[in-house]
Homo-oligomer: A and B are copies of this chain.
Amino acid sequence: MTSRSSQPEGRSDGGHDIHGLLDRFARLGATPGGGITRLCASPADGEARDLFAALLGEAGAIVTTDGVGNQFGRFPLAGVEGAPLVMAGSHLDSQMRAGRLDGTLGVVAALEVGRTLMGRKRDGAPFDADFCAVNWTNEEGARFRPSLLGSGAYAGHHDAAFALSRRDDDGVSLGDALEAIEYRGRDAAPAVPACYLELHVEQGSVLEEEGATIGVVARNWGALKVEAVFEGEQAHTGPTRMDRRRDALLAAAHAITAARALADRWPGRLHTSVGRLLVEPNSPNVVPARVALSLEVRSADDAVLAEAGRFADALLATAAAEAGVGLTIATRSERPIRSLPQAVGDLVSFCAETSGHRTLRMDTVAGHDALSLLGRCPLGLIFVPSVGGVAHNEREATHAADLDAGRDVLLDAADRLCRAGGSPERATRSPGSAPERTERRPGSAP
């Protein structure tokens, strides 16, 4: 084995080379702009799932796929039936023209943790929990809505039938799309784990600005997500008198500008957006009859979120009234502001600080699969810095050393958990194997 530790992208110490793996996954759904488009249950997603399953199998995992396409790779570390389970993962699906790290980092890192822990088991490490790497279906919500469909079904927030019946803009259901790529599984999902971990890129710029390497997520921002439909009257844009038009797109435009203005009531504390608009019939010379609009309002402050939610409801109604069109709220869902379990955060901080990484307790503004499991099991969400805070963009990037740091912290936390029956409290006090890695320095042999 050649020492390549001066080139983090090519390191191959014991097999957990996440850089080479990230490169391999980045080829599946690659875009000309250097990112990926790997929509849920697309052919490219199928290829990424095939690669994940093959790598899991090579690494000694038992690979299963549940009824909504979640992929699990269980590494039998404990050597006994019914051992507690430590789970880690994220998602392989992406937005359109997205970055290569979002989701994939967490899946690849979990795979490499599993491979490494299997090696340590062969070397005699005394594990008393199994480890499971997971790829959740449709985290993004780009092709099928809502987001977090796979982890949400696993956690019992909705049933599998609901998830499978979601349709994309061409009317294809998730169930049929999974069948087409042969990932509508028949296996039972594993029981809820003793502890769940997820490594993810921050997608914001807080870590970079604070000079920290490891973000220990302590809380999630709350979110209000509204799918509104404006119903106007289809008409000719030429002869139809202006005062007789009932323009659904004009209503949507009023709503979009009002939603942006709403954010300025609480600068820095409220994020608002309209990211999606479906216009019908969408012809240059036809007054739009129907526009479906996706509005999001996010805040970390319960009072702000509640008041902003009332403003959001009102601005939609006002926009409809201004354009003289009808309004239907198709869906309105709230994700509450919640704290993540302290004990898992303490474990992650302990592992990071033991390795000399500067940590920061922080919020997640974005949703992640980990949040689906909140209240179901102890869980930890670990961030590494996003260069310039760029996310959902082909230019998304994280420095190689930060990726390594995230992978090492995930590995250390998982290792400790798998020696402590999955208990984060016990894991923080367990010996682990961190010093083995932190002694490694550029130029030294592994």
Contacts and interface: CB of A to CB of B under 8 A. Distances in A.
B284 A239 contact: no
B142 A283 contact: yes
Contacts of A389: 239-241, 244
Given A140-B285, A285-B141, A238 B366 contact: yes
Max chain B C-beta neighbours (<10 A), residue from A141, A239, A286, A365: A239
Contacts of A97: 234, 281, 289
A234 B273 CA distance: 12
A95 B257 contact: no
A366 B236 contact: yes
A160 to B, nearest CB: 22
B241 A205 contact: yes
Contacts of A298: 237-238
A252 B267 CA distance: 23
A96 B203 CA distance: 40
Contact of A392 (B140, B205, B244, B286): B286
Interface in A347-403: 364-367, 389-394
Interface residues of A, number: 74
Interface in A296-345: 296, 298
A62 interface: no
Contacts of A252: 253, 256
A252 B252 CA distance: 10
Nearest to A288: B275
Contacts of A280: 96
A287 B273 contact: yes
A186 interface: no
A219 interface: no
Interface string A255-292: 11100100110011001111111111111111111000
A277 B273 contact: no
Given A256-B253, A260-B247, A238 B365 contact: yes
Interface of A: 95-97, 140-142, 145, 147, 202-206, 221, 223, 225, 233-242, 244-245, 247, 249-250, 252-257, 260, 263-264, 267-268, 271-289, 294, 296, 298, 364-367, 389-394
5 contacts: A237-B271, A250-B256, A252-B253, A273-B287, A285-B366
